[in-house]
Structure 1
Amino acid sequence: MDFQAHGWQTAAMRHLCFSMSGAESLCEALRDAERDELVIRGLFDDLSMGPINDVCSAERQAWLQDILHGGDVFADWDAHMHFWSSINLMQTDDVTIWYSSRNARDYCGFLEFLRRLPADADLIAANIADGNFSAKFGAEAEQPIYSTGLLLPHHWVSAFALARMRARREYAKELENWERLREENAPLRVFRDGRLISAKEDFYDQGLFRHLSDRWRKVAYVVGRTMMDFSDMPEPQMISDLWLDHRINVLVDAGMIKEIGEGDMRHREIRLKA
C-alpha cells in the first residue's frame, strides 16, 4: 500500500478512532504499509446511547452495568476515565482523529473529544463521510460505508487523503448542538436531516416488531435484521445489537412479546404475544 501516492497530506504519527474495530483495521493497514505509527485504541464506549451529561460519572457507569451489563467499558472503567480526563493535555498536532459525521457512535465520540480540547486547539481530522467507501458483507449487495468501524484495511489507503488540519473553533455549531444534547441527556442520539438529535428509548422498537410474528424466531435474527433495516435507510441509523437486545428484554418484561430460552441472542427465541 502506498499512502503517499493516495494523497497522504500530514505528518501525523498517531491515530485515534472511536470504535475498536476501526482501530484494529487501521492497525492492519499501517502494518501492511510498514508505517511505524501508533494507533490509540478505539473507545469501547458508545456515546450515542445512555446518559452523556458526564461520560465519566457514576450514573453512566451504573447505566452501562444495568442496561448493557457492563461489557468491555465497565471492565476497563479506569482506563476509560483516564482517557477522557487527559484529553485537555493531549498534543493534537500529530494525531489524526478519525470519525464519521454520518455515524452516531463515531460522531458523538468525536464531539465529546472536541468539547474537552482547549478552545484554541488545532487538530488533524479525517471525516470518512467525505469519502466514497463501500463493501460487500456476506451475501448482501455492496453497501456504502459510513462508519470507521466498517472500513476494511484497503479502504484506509484512500481515506488518508481526507485528513485536514482544522481549528476547534470551526466546529462551533456542532459543539453548540452537542451541549444541547448533553443537557437533554436522553437515552439515545440519532440522525435527522443530517443533525444529531435526542431520541426516546423506544425509537427502534417498531423496527423490532417488523420482524416479529406468531412464529418463534431467534433473537439474533430479529436484532440482525433490524440493524440492517436501519442501516439501509436513506439516512442510515447505526445502532448497537446490545441496545436492541436490551429493548427486547424490556418488551418481554412488559408482556408485549414472549420469549423462550436462556443466554445470549443465539440461544433465545421470541414471538408476538398471542
Structure 2
Amino acid sequence: MTKLEKPVVHVVFNMSAAGSLRHALAHMGRHETVIGLPDDLSFGPIDPPAIDLRARWMEDVLGFERRPDLEQEADQFWRRATDRDVAAVAWVCRRSAMEFAGFLEFVSRIGDHPFRAVDVTEVEFAPRPDRSESTPWRTVSFGHVPADNIVKERLTERQAILTEQELQAYRGLWKRLRAENAPFRVVSDHSLQSAPITFFDKAVATHVTDDWRKCSYVVANCLGALWDDGTYCGDLVLWSRVRALADEGVFEMGGDGVRMRNSSVRLASGAV
C-alpha cells in the first residue's frame, strides 16, 4: 500500500458473514479489516434509526434480552464504516432483509463518500459435495456462504462502484421505509417492503398442530420453510411471534415459555 492509498475496510451487515470473510481473506494472505454490524435493521423502529430506541422496542415488543454492549458496538461499527480515511467495501445479499436494510442505512449514512460494493444476490455457487445440492445454488444470506466459497468464487474481485442512479434508488427506498417505520421489513422481488407485526404469524401457525410440539422444533421448521420460499428471518423473531400468539390465546403454551428448548406449543382449544 502506498502512502496515498487508504486502508481497506470490508463492511458486512451479518456477524456470521463477517467471520467467514475474515477467514477467506486470511486464506488469501490479505490483511484487510472486516467489521460486522451487530444490529438488525429489518425489524423495529428506524425513524430515527437510533439503536437505543430499537433496543427498547426489541425488549418490549419481541421480548429480546437487551445486550448491555449493543449500543456501543453498533455506534463503533458506524463510525468505522463511514470513516472518510478508509476505503470501504460493502457486502450485501439482497435476499436477506437484515443485510439489505443494513446496506441501505450504510448508503444513506456514507453520503457522497466513494465506496465499493459486492452484491452476492445473483452469484451462482458451485454444488457442495457435503450437501445435497447437485446444481449451482444462490444464497439467501451472505452469512450462509462459507469462507472456501468466497475464495473459490473470487468474490473479492466482484467489487463495483454503484452508479449515481443506483445510489439514489437505494436512498429513496430507505427514505420511504423509514417514513413507514413498520415493525418488520421483508424481501419482495429483491426489494424491501414494510410489513406488520403479524407478518410471520401464518407461517408460524402452519407448523403448530393439536398435538404438543417443542417450540424449538416449530421455529426450526418454520425457518426452513421460509428459507425455501426465499424469505430469511431470525429464529428469535419467530419465537417472539409464537409467544405472542400464545398470549393471544391462539396457541397453548407448555413449559417455561421463556426458552424454546424448554417450551412446547399446540393449538388452543377452539382456535381457528
* TM beyond 0.5: yes
CA contact 2:81–2:88 (8 Å) conserved in 1 = no
**Equivalent residue, structure 2, for 1:3:** none
5+ residue gaps in structure 2? 1-5
Is contact 1:121–1:167 with CA below 8 Å preserved after alignment?
no
Q: Compared with structure 1, are the counterparts of its residues 135 and 252 closer, same or farther at alpha carbon in structure 2 (3 Å cutoff)?
A: farther
- Flag the 1:77–1:58 CA change in 2: closer, same or farther, 3 A: closer
RMSD: 2.5
- 1:32 matched residue in structure 2: 27
Contact conserved, 1:14 with 1:39, CA < 8 A, in 2?
A: yes
SS at match of 2:211: coil
Instruction: Give the fraction of aligned pairs with identical amino acids, expressed as a percent.
Output: 31
Q: Post-superposition shift, 1:12?
A: 6.8
Query: Aligned-pair distance for 1:172?
Result: 0.7
Equivalent runs, 1:184-195 vs 2, <5 Å: 184-195=180-191
Structure 1 unaligned residues grouped into runs of 5+: 1-10
1:1-274 map, 5 Å? 13-40=8-35, 42-66=36-60, 67-72=62-67, 74-84=68-78, 87-92=81-86, 94-118=87-111, 120-133=112-125, 141=133, 144-157=138-151, 158=153, 159-167=155-163, 170-233=166-229, 236-262=230-256, 263-274=258-269
Q: Could you say what secondary structure the match of 1:259 adopts?
A: strand
Q: Distance in 2 between matches of 1:19 and 1:125?
A: 15
Matched residues in 1 for 2:215 and 2:132: separation? 20
CA distance in 2, matches of 1:98, 1:79: 19
- 1:17-71 deviations in whole A, cap 9, x for unaligned? 101100111111122222222112x112111111111222542121122224245
Letter in 1 for 2:146: L
The one-letter amino acid paired with 1:117 is: I
For 1:44, what is the secondary structure of its paired residue? coil
Structure 2 vs 1, CA of residues 36 and 220 (structure 1 numbering), >3 Å: closer, same or farther? Answer: same
Provide the TM-score with structure 2 as the length reference: 0.86
Q: How many Å apart are 1:135 and its aligned residue?
A: 6.4
Instruction: Report the alpha carbon displacement of residue 261 of structure 1 after superposing the two structures with TM.
Output: 1.1
The answer to whether the Cα contact below 8 Å between 2:9 and 2:81 also exists between their aligned partners in 1 is no
State the TM-score, normalized to the length of structure 1: 0.86
| Deviation of the 1:84 alpha carbon | 3.0
* TM-fit CA distance, 1:131: 1.2
Specify the SS of the correspondent of 1:130. Answer: coil
Aligned residues: 259
Question: Does the 8 Å CA contact 1:122/1:168 hold for their aligned counterparts?
Answer: no
